[in-house]
Amino acid sequence: MKLTGRSAIVTGGASGIGRAAAIALAAEGCAVMVTDIDDAGGEETLALIEKAGGTVGYRHQDVADEATWIQVVADTMAAHGRLDILVNNAGIGSGQLVTEMSLEAWNNQVAINLTGVFLGTKHAIPSMRKGGNGGSIINISSVAGLEGSAGLAGYCATKGGVRLFTKAVAKEYAADKIRCNSVHPGIIDTPIWTKIDEGGLDAMEQLRAPGANSLNADMIAAAGAPLGFAGLPEDIANGIVFLASDDSRYMTGSELVIDGGWTA
């Protein structure tokens, strides 16, 4: 129970990495506020944690809306009296070539993937400072924030932005014992790959198996990751718990890459 007595906010907690992170943090004794725009999925995450005996709440949240962030942080403080951990996980991906990408698609990725991280960080830090015990901000980037990928220019731009934003925040608030690190998942078996495929990633068509109707995470991972298979959300959640706990107390401004060797 590494996180007993601590409190966390996890965005995008209705499925995938966000749900796995919320469950893993709660299993270590952390009180978790789960947020998402998918209320059905968020309530399901809530039920899973409650069934396991964890302390959890849920709020509907558009992470690009500043007023909602103010309310989520206030609700977390009211419920638990402190905020120690922020997991900026909510994100979207749009698979389009630059010349085919609409301004709306670009702006949507910037709003969710980058502005959402900025707003969460901005409004979490004052509450972390009040406690006097520091805190841990964990920003979910991607291997696409470390290297370019054809057909994912918007996603790469926003995830690369998350990486350097993380480093700047780490330096700004180190004196307050607030650590800020980024996590860079590789190909993880979550619903995002179905969505990206529907967007038409021409650059990934070569990975389509003969006769297959759609791409999947394992196909993509087998083509690019030395380990040859897609990771699970729990693989990333384990890294998030590490960064949230005192096990990583001397890490800030760092990149935790969990990618099956993709970027090796």
What average pLDDT does the structure give for the chain? 91
Q: How big is the chain, counted in residues?
A: 264
Give the range of the structural domain holding residue 102, as residue numbers without chain letter. 7-190+232-255
Q: Would you say residue 59 lies in a domain?
A: yes
Active-site option among 58, 155, 173, 250: 155
Banded pLDDT at 95 (limits 50, 70, 90): confident
Q: Would you say residue 91 lies in a domain?
A: yes
Instruction: Provide the number of structural domains found in the chain.
Output: 1
Q: Would you say residue 100 lies in a domain?
A: yes
Q: Would you say residue 178 lies in a domain?
A: yes
Over residues 17-37, the mean pLDDT reads 98
Can you tell me the distance from the alpha carbon of 146 to that of 206, in angstroms, rounded to the nearest whole number? 22
Q: Would you say residue 223 lies in a domain?
A: no
Q: Would you say residue 79 lies in a domain?
A: yes
pLDDT at 242 over 90: yes
Q: What is the largest CA-CA distance in the chain?
A: 58
Edge-first strand order for the sheet with 31-36 is 56-60, 31-36, 7-11, 85-88, 135-140, 178-185, 255-258
Tokens representing 182 are 């980024």
Can you tell me the distance from the alpha carbon of 124 to that of 100, in angstroms, rounded to the nearest whole number? 37
Banded pLDDT at 195 (limits 50, 70, 90): low
pLDDT digits (tens, 9 = 90+) for 142-178: 999 999 988 999 999 999 999 999 999 999 999 999 9
> What 3-state DSSP class applies to 108?
helix
- Residue 144: give its domain's CATH number: 3.40.50.720
Name the residue with tokens 């932005």.
161
Q: Would you say residue 64 lies in a domain?
A: yes
pLDDT at 201 over 80: no
Report pTM.
0.91
Catalytic, 250? Answer no
Q: Would you say residue 80 lies in a domain?
A: yes
